[in-house]
Amino acid sequence: MPQETSQSSHLPVRHSPCTAVVGLQWGDEGKGKVVDLIAPRFGAVVRFNGGANAGHSVVVGGVRFALHLIPSGILYPDKAAVIGNGVVVDPEALLRECDGLTTRGVSVAGLTISDRAHVVMPYHKVEDELREKLVAGDAGESIGTTKRGIGPCYADKAHRATAIRMGELLDPAALRVKLEMICRVKKALLGSAGADLDAGALTAWAGALAERLRPHVTDTTYALHDMLRAGKKLLFEGANAALLDVDHGTHPYVTSSSCTSLGIPAGTGVPAQYLGEVIGVVKAYTSRVGNGPMPTELLNDLGQTIRERGREFGTTTGRPRRVGWLDLVAVRYSAMISGATSIALTLLDVLSGLPELNVCIGYRRIGDANGAVSDRFTPDAEALRRVEPVYRTFPGFAQDVTGVRSRAELPAEARAYIEFIEEFVGVPVRLIGVGPDRVQTIVEDL
């Protein structure tokens, strides 16, 4: 934790009104649980990137909630839940999620959506699927997207003229005119694959959804600044993760948004200097869904054991996740670009019973056993494919840790593992997850 000094010309971290929770690996680190745990201290929980590709699970009193677009803070009735302008919103998926929460007794009255967030249209999902097929060809490799239309929607955002923002959904007459143009452009670009583009049908589809979403759509930028002026604190909930970031991740096997804390200002309209704490969430091992290099991947029985113990199957797509040893070279890189001030280490319980634990502390070129070891991450996918991990091995711990509630009670081997993470990354671990439930957490001065 950076020390506050009276000479400091910066906002002291402890007094900064905003905190971020972001993933430091390839996603699914357990960000939802961390957000849910600390949300009571904040006035609002705010999403700034991604869309329904994310899957945040929170278990409260044995009941599991899977959230995709709605910030995890929705589970607290007195918190505002804000979907910022950097998010791409699938209105159908959003309403499904709202209905799912309402039927389980969770009110969505506190949900607001930026009128500047872009809309994922049905044709974006068709295009996502088609692009994946075309990119893969007969024998090639696609990105392995979630097929939720994320890339094509962000592409339209960059194209501008063919993009639709949430505010535009609320004016059916103007939307109809715009959709005529969009359908004309897309038919010309997609050829026979654009057969389903019908401006009338799309306007009717959007209209029905818009009427239900109308009370929630607003200028969230002003709303967030009003909250800050009223002395409220904001919690930013990152979706996806640093290594999937469109600029800083393992390109091209990434998503299409800014997933680190760097995405917060642009994705919400809240400037960077309001941000103090950045909690980087790190799984005690590594997982990845979709294609792309993963140096520490375990393609053996041990990998299968960890996958089953960690229930490593996608919250959004159900796909089995690839799993591997903790890659600290990658985590240190992600902590650096996210400005992580603390680490929340999750799923430690999954490792109990393994005789040995490996952590990656460097990379060496494949086939060059005597070559130089680099401790720098390489975010270029092809370069990352050419390296193999250099491990440091730690003794495992046999004890079931799911009932442990303080670091001192953890087995010495688990403590040594955690201390090494802190030392290597240079960031303190202030939260340790030892099970899926809210209560199965060790929290230290966070």
- Contacts with ligand IMP by CB under 6 A lie at 26-28, 53-55, 143-146, 148, 150-151, 239-240, 244, 253, 255-256, 289-290
Give min distance, CB of 261 to ligand IMP, in A.
Answer: 16
Q: Which is nearer to ligand IMP, 120 or 351 (CB)?
A: 120
Taking the complex as a whole, the smallest distance from the CB of residue 96 to ligand IMP amounts, in Å, to 17
Nearer to ligand IMP, 125 or 332 (CB): 125
- Closest residue to ligand IMP, judged by C-beta, is 290
Whether 28 sits among the annotated catalytic residues: the reply is yes
For residue 376, the minimal CB distance to ligand IMP (Å) is: 23
Least Å distance between CB 150 and ligand IMP? Answer: 4
Q: How far is the CB of 90 from ligand IMP (least distance, A)?
A: 11
In angstroms, rounded to a whole number, what is the distance separating the alpha carbons of residues 304 and 326?
15
Shortest distance, CB of residue 236 to ligand IMP, whole angstroms? 16
Instruction: Pick the closer one to ligand IMP by CB: 30 or 55.
Output: 55
36, 56, 128, 248: which one is catalytic? 56
When the beta carbons of 85 and 146 are compared against ligand IMP, the nearer one is 146
Q: Hey, which residues does 283 pair with through a beta bridge?
A: 346
Cβ nearer to ligand IMP, comparing 26 with 417: 26
Which CB atom, from 51 or from 110, has the smaller least distance to ligand IMP?
51
Annotated active-site positions, please?
A: 28, 56
